[in-house]
Amino acid sequence: MTTTAITNIASLVTNDPSLGDGSPLGLILDAAVVIEGDRVVWTGESRKAPATDNAVDAGGRAVIPGFVDSHSHLLFAGDRTEEFNARMSGRPYTAGGIRTTVAATRAATDDALDANVVRYLAEALRQGTTTFETKSGYGLTVEDEARALRIAARHTDEVTYLGAHVVPPDYADDPAGYVDLVTGPMLDACAPYARWVDVFCEKGAFDGDQARAILTAGMAKGLHPRVHANQLTYGPGVQLAVELDAASADHCTHLTAEDVDALAQGNTVATLLPGAEFSTRADWPDARRLLDAGATVALSTDCNPGSSFTSSMPFCIALAVRDMGMTPDEALWSATAGGAAALRRTDIGRIAPGARADLVLLDAPSHVHLAYRPGVPLVQAVRQRGERAL
């Protein structure tokens, strides 16, 4: 395999404290990276870079790991422009809006759903996302959930079964029957395409007992749990996630002291999704409280057509710094290494020997510009698995 050195990097974020300045970001100034095949094989000061087959001059720009978007909902059709417009005029967000997308998704062809995924993945890549997770949840029938996951699996290994998004209208009078479907025939059809099982544990969706039944059924099929937890109200989602050793509790907007302690003491990552709060004018998650308690925090887009229609990780970083009490360093770590932790991955979210060569070249001398210059398209180039992708 050929080797390529990227040199003249003003600042390199490795996310490896054993490298560079010893901080969580493992920052190296005037740096270089050597790639062999799809892996990073060397990082260090540019003047010490070994000889390679090829060389790329970064031109004094910053290099960061590719963003890891560990929570998205890309298998859908239609949009909810009218709902958003009405909400911005004063109508509050509730879980019921999901049913609008369900109707459009059920009516869409496989080709239309696949094209939608490709479109939003290309959009995310232009903004530096090199790894993403995505879910079902807008079909809510055995056939529609299975086809959503089958399509998702063409594009990512991080596929999540979310048959338990909401109770669909056809089961409005029989929620227990829908839980039986989700934990029975639907799970059987979906499990072969998924790595994860998820549930929207929330008022208006599924309560704690229902969520436990759904997650444990998925785990019995070999799927790993993650939970939509404590987004709209206080509830049992976070505690259930920690108890079941879920990889991630996502949203974490309304937390008790006991919830924070549980996240700090357990292995479950608190994944914060500021795009949802931005788009619904809801209270911001308190990232500072979680970080100070010692919890691991990830940032993700929650890209979906209802409550967070953004694919931009840089935008979420800017929101987290401005409104959630995070420093620029913490926000970047959470959008890269934090997302990797939320997917229980060690091969992504960092730039260090052995890691997958997913790198983003910023048209700026420092990663701080992601928050310092919000809304500006700073991604100059992207390498994914070592190859130039943008």
Q: For position 109, what pLDDT does the model report? A: 98
> Is the pLDDT assigned to residue 96 strictly greater than 60?
no
Cβ atoms < 10 Å from Cβ of 235: 21
User: How confident is the model at residue 99, as a pLDDT?
Assistant: 81
pLDDT in tens, 74-88: 999 998 988 888 888
The confidence score (pLDDT) of residue 97 equals 74
pLDDT classification of 198: cutoffs 50, 70, 90: very high
pLDDT score of 94: 60
- Report helix, strand or coil for 9: strand
Q: How far apart are CA 125 and CA 311, in angstroms?
A: 9
> Are residues 8 and 45 in contact, defined by beta-carbon separation less than 8 angstroms?
no
Query: What pLDDT score does 87 carry?
Result: 85
Give me the percent of the chain exceeding a pLDDT of 90: 93
Tens-digit pLDDT profile for residues 104-153: 999 999 999 999 999 999 999 999 999 999 999 999 999 999 999 999 99
Mean pLDDT of 45-52: 95
- Looking at every residue in the chain, the average pLDDT score rounds to 96
Distances in whole angstroms, Cα of residue 20 to Cα of each of 44, 339, 357: 7, 22, 18
Residue pointed to by tokens 């997913």:
358
Sheet holding 54-65, edge to edge: 39-45, 28-36, 3-12, 54-65, 359-362, 379-384, 387-388
- According to DSSP H, which parts of 154-283 are helical? 175-183, 185-190, 208-220, 237-243, 257-265, 274-280
216-266 pLDDT per residue, tens: 999 999 999 999 999 999 999 999 999 999 999 999 999 999 999 999 999
